[in-house]
Amino acid sequence: MISLEGKTLGNQSFEGKKVLVRCDFNVPLDKASGEITDDTRIRESLPTIRRLLDGGAAVILMSHLGRPAGTGFEPQFSLAPVAERLGKLLSRPVHFSNDVFTEVTVSTARDLQAGEVLLLENLRFIKGETKGDEAFAAYLASLGNVYVNDAFGTAHRSHASTAVIARFFPDDKYFGLLMEHEITNLERLLHSAERPFTAVIGGAKVSSKIDVLKNLSGKVDNLVVGGGMAYTFVKAAGGKIGNSLVEEDKLDTAKEIMEEFAKKGVQLLLPEDSVCADRFDNAADRKVFPTREIPDGWMGMDIGPAAVARFSEVLASSKSVLWNGPLGVFEMENFSEGTLQIGRCIGKVTERGGYTAVGGGDSVAAVNKLGLAETLSYVSTGGGAMLEYLEGKKLPGVEAILA
Ligand code: AMP
């Protein structure tokens, strides 16, 4: 279990300090207008920025946006709209450097006063960012005298601004409040979750969840499997799954996982029945079949009513729940019921005083779409980063601060 002692902002003063903060401002933009369509990530960075400003710091913010080529400025990936939105949210002007490297950037950073905020342009306009280039990290480091990493969404990347830069601040590197929240919750899930502990794992493919499943096998009491990946398990166990999603090359892996869970005494539950469709379409004909007996021409799109009832029973007696991945094609209204029902059951676990966590991949999109976010104890902001943490991997952005 990780100790964050001395690595969090706590209540220390940042009087007279210039704090470099790596944020995750990778927000979605409207293709035509270039406007920010969802500013959640900017809002999530506000507590750390406010905390530092209140603590007497001048704040220099760094982020990436999208996937530019790394060969210089590309207007569609500019962080300019973020600077504007951030200024509104903070109710103070945000200086913006049009380029990461210009003399103006260096002099603006140098002259920045306590209480002022500077946002650097998209770091990924410079190739050295994603390459983890030490010279680029050194340049960024030269702009400030404290480093704070609050970008959980990119904590699994070993980039110049997310990991390498920390080397230049051996005694002045900290986790921001968002990172602290994520790590504290993930550590709780992996190391001190109250039992019974149930993992609900769904989503499209087994292949993207194999390492998560393996790492959880020694930690949970129940594993509930839904979504497209369930059909690979059902087929591996000898069922007939019609035209449902299947990864033929993962049948052996699915078998191994089932054996591993059985050996560890973990109850693994597959959906007893499925809501099936005759084509991948919201308007398709629908029929419920036992998941082990889906006729050819039909595909499992959601867990069925018997599966919902059985999964709900298990959740009703759980004290901790980890949820990753939708239980069906939740984007189509006619196949979102299973995800909604199970999401509600997980919400009830929270209501009863249990601990519930969701994150990774598409899970948060499902939770937001179905209006369930408020009912859960912890909603992770990291997709890939959360999955890698759950796989038991060490994240470069976390390790760099702990080192
Ligand atoms: P993931 O990113 O692995 O969590 O997968 C999320 C995707 O899985 C969503 O886009 C769902 O529509 C999809 N999905 C869930 N259940 C099924 C299913 N039964 N068949 C096909 N796709 C599914």
DSSP characters over 5-35: TTSB-TT---TT-EEEEE------B-TTT--
Does 203 score more than 80 pLDDT?
A: yes
Ligand 1 contacts CB of residue 300 (under 6 A): yes
Q: Which atom of ligand 1 is nearest to the CA of 332?
A: 12
Give mean pLDDT, residues 275-295. 98
Does 370 score more than 90 pLDDT?
A: no
Predicted structure pTM score: 0.91
Q: Which atom of ligand 1 is nearest to the CA of 230?
A: 19
Q: How far is the CA of 331 from the centre of ligand 1 (A)?
A: 9
Give CA–CA dist 124/130, Å, rounded: 7
On average, the pLDDT of the chain sits at 95
Q: How far is the CA of 326 from the centre of ligand 1 (A)?
A: 6
For residues 185, 188, 190 and 195, what is the CA-based torsion angle, rounded to 10 degrees? -130
pLDDT in tens, 111-120: 999 999 999 9
Percent of the chain, pLDDT > 90? 91
Ligand 1 contacts CB of residue 206 (under 6 A): no
- Residue ID of nearest Cα to ligand 1 atom 12: 329
Helix H or strand E segment including 149: strand 146-149
Does 336 score more than 90 pLDDT?
A: yes
For residue 45, give the amino acid letter: S
Does 181 score more than 90 pLDDT?
A: yes
Does 362 score more than 90 pLDDT?
A: no
pLDDT in tens, 153-175: 999 999 999 999 999 999 999 99
Does 360 score more than 90 pLDDT?
A: no
Does 266 score more than 90 pLDDT?
A: yes
For residue 56, give the amino acid letter: G
Pick from 68-82, 294-308, 323-337, 362-376: least confident: 362-376
For residues 107, 108, 109 and 113, what is the CA-based torsion angle, rounded to 10 degrees? 120
Q: Check residue 365 and give its pLDDT.
A: 81
Most distant CA atoms of the chain, gap in Å = 71
DSSP helix/strand/coil, 130: helix
How far is CA 333 from each of CA 194, 227, 309, 370, rounded to the nearest angstrom?
Answer: 34, 15, 20, 10
Cα 331–Cα 335–Cα 337 angle in degrees, nearest 5: 105
Catalytic residue, from 128, 361, 382, 383: name it. 361
Catalytic residue, from 55, 66, 384, 392: name it. 384
User: How many alpha carbons lie under 13 Å from residue 206 in its C-beta half-sphere?
Assistant: 24
